[in-house]
Structure 1
Amino acid sequence: MIYRVLIFLFGIKVALVTCQYEDKKVGLDKEKYRIRKWGKLDKSISEASGLALNGEYLLWSINDSGGGAIIYETTREGVLKREIPIPQASNKDWEEICRDDNGNTYIGDFGNNNSTRKDLTIYKWDGSKTERIQFTYPDQIEGKKEHDCEAFFWTKDSLYLFTKSWESPAVKVCRLYVLSDQPGLQVAKKIDEIWLKAQITGAAIRPDKKQFALISYGKIFLFGIENQNINFQKPQQCIKIAKKQTEAISYDGLTRLIFTNEQRGIFAFDTDLTLP
């Protein structure tokens, strides 16, 4: 009962978010799209925190902290097709999943709410064996809760990570870091940062590598990519979605975005179909 009340209150809070700050201060134009509910994830996916596409018709999802080391493959309507155990892996705080152009899957075990973890890990799975990318942040300050991470994507042999801040100001910093996609111990390289009135909870890159999307609780942000440089210098759109605890997003072709929330809802919209 208490959980339902908290989700209800959280839903009200998300419904009240706007793109006003990002429009005026960041240059992300407000835009409206017709958002459709496609379906609902299977009950086994109780805290969907990442999303990737497997071919044209299937979704891959993962559970948040404490779940099994499992990828859940579903139809686009959420019907469970199979559970895929990831060998030599454990789920301490899985937050994101993505795939590269060579058939590898990356799972981010880097949830870090208190910014105190010393075992930040990205699992690299090629379909049989699992390797580890372990990393640290070069600028993490003890006592500052600014290096949680729930969002990343792969491109150009690299992984791009977007941090989430738990510090008290309403406008929060999101930092962008890059890692090599090769296993081993690394220090993340900081590329850019941006201040948003939102906590970033998921990320995806468009298949043509000309745009990337960030999702938060209640909003999606789109940024352009110029000369293959991943940064915040080309802000495009802020889209209000207000669909509760949204934590996972993926591109479906060049114009469609699919996202899920931790209440198991599956949603989609097309960026070539705007509302008046």
Structure 2
Amino acid sequence: MIEDSGNAPTIYGYDIQKKLVAQTITITNAKNTDWEDLASDLDGNLYIGDFGNNHNKRNDLSIYKVERVGSISEKETEATKTSFSFEDQVQFPPKKKNRNFDVEGFIFLNDYFYLFTRNRSKHFDGTTSVYRLPAKEGSFKAKRIASYITCTQKQECAVTSADYDLETNTLVLLSYSNVWAFSNFENDRFFEGTVKHIPLQYPSQKESISFKNSDTVFIVDELTNIVGGNLYEMKLNN
């Protein structure tokens, strides 16, 4: 688990059975400008997305890599860094009608990161853009490869997290009120296969989605005005 902007550059290991934080690791060479999402690879490496960009004016977007996080026993470690900017962003911030450069969800797939934007444009139309960049240390331009219209209510439809399951080749996107599950696609053409829309039972500030197994996801919402602060488990095929 992570906390977002202004908090310590620390990751937390949560024990689901005991319902407590079992481990904390501080990333000593990182800064938590606005951490938003986590991803991982098959080698046990953890990736931290420092790309929250509510006002679309940041020029220091980055992703941190913590190697083999499951084998770390110390309370501190270092990370390597991927810095990036968007190939099609020329103003910081752009005009209010073009503010689609905030990212709150990403995945790791085939040595690339895929970033899914949270649209903050003045006239929200539900579009999330997908950007791709190499998953390696250095500085890169994120290339826009696709877009998808979720739904048109800004509070309910803006993308807040993403995850990917390799076994079933399924991508999930989260918003405050919905989950979209994409499957049966080839390579990174996520939106050219099958999509399943799952409305959630009640709206809250849902900020994270993660696969527990190929049929089940965890969803977390933030505590806001005594609402939220919960960990949910949901079957995708119910």
* Fold match (TM-score > 0.5): yes
Q: CA deviation at 1:243?
A: 4.4
Supply the AA of the counterpart residue of 2:173. L
Structure 1 consecutive aligned stretches of length 4 or more whose deviation exceeds 6 Å = none
Mapped partners of 1:230, 1:204: distance in 2: 15
Which of 206, 210, 216 is equivalent to 1:250? 210
Give the equivalent residue in structure 1 for 2:226. Answer: none
Which of 45, 50, 57 is equivalent to 1:116? 57
- 8 Å contact 1:134–1:186 — kept in the other structure? yes
- Aligned to 1:188, the other structure's residue is in SS state strand
Tell me the TM-score normalised to structure 2 length: 0.85
- 8 Å contact 2:171–2:190 — kept in the other structure? no
Mapped partners of 1:88, 1:82: distance in 2: 19
Mapped partners of 2:186, 2:174: distance in 1: 23
Tell me the TM-score normalised to structure 1 length: 0.73
CA pair 235-170 structure 1, distance change in 2 beyond 3 A: farther
Mapped partners of 2:103, 2:54: distance in 1: 8
Q: CA deviation at 1:167?
A: 1.3
Give the equivalent residue in structure 2 for 1:100. Answer: 41
Supply the AA of the counterpart residue of 2:80. E
Q: CA deviation at 1:149?
A: 0.3
Give the equivalent residue in structure 1 for 2:195. Answer: 236
Give the equivalent residue in structure 1 for 2:233. Answer: 268
Determine if the alignment matches structure 1 residue 163 to structure 2 residue 117: yes
Mapped partners of 1:69, 1:262: distance in 2: 18
- Aligned to 2:87, the other structure's residue is in SS state coil
* 1:29-74: CA deviation from partner (whole Å, max 9, x where unpaired): xxxxxxxxxxxxxxxxxxxxxxxxxxxxxxxx10011111111111
- 8 Å contact 2:185–2:194 — kept in the other structure? no
Mapped partners of 1:165, 1:240: distance in 2: 19
Give the equivalent residue in structure 1 for 2:13. Answer: 73
Determine if the alignment matches structure 1 residue 125 to structure 2 residue 66: yes
- Aligned to 1:232, the other structure's residue is in SS state helix
Determine if the alignment matches structure 1 residue 85 to structure 2 residue 22: no
Give the equivalent residue in structure 2 for 1:55. Answer: none
Supply the AA of the counterpart residue of 1:147. F
- 8 Å contact 1:209–1:228 — kept in the other structure? no
Mapped partners of 2:38, 2:81: distance in 1: 14
User: Mean alpha-carbon deviation: is it higher for 139-148 or for 110-119?
Assistant: 139-148
**Percent identical:** 28
Mapped partners of 1:85, 1:161: distance in 2: 24
Mapped partners of 1:229, 1:112: distance in 2: 24
Work out the number of aligned pairs and report it.
Answer: 213
Query: Which protein, 1 or 2, shows the higher relative CO under an 8 Å CA cutoff with sep ≥ 6?
Result: 1
Mapped partners of 1:177, 1:158: distance in 2: 10
User: Mean alpha-carbon deviation: is it higher for 228-237 or for 97-106?
Assistant: 228-237
Mapped partners of 2:125, 2:109: distance in 1: 28
Give the equivalent residue in structure 2 for 1:191. Answer: 145
Mapped partners of 2:80, 2:4: distance in 1: 20
Give the equivalent residue in structure 1 for 2:3. Answer: 63
- 8 Å contact 1:207–1:251 — kept in the other structure? no
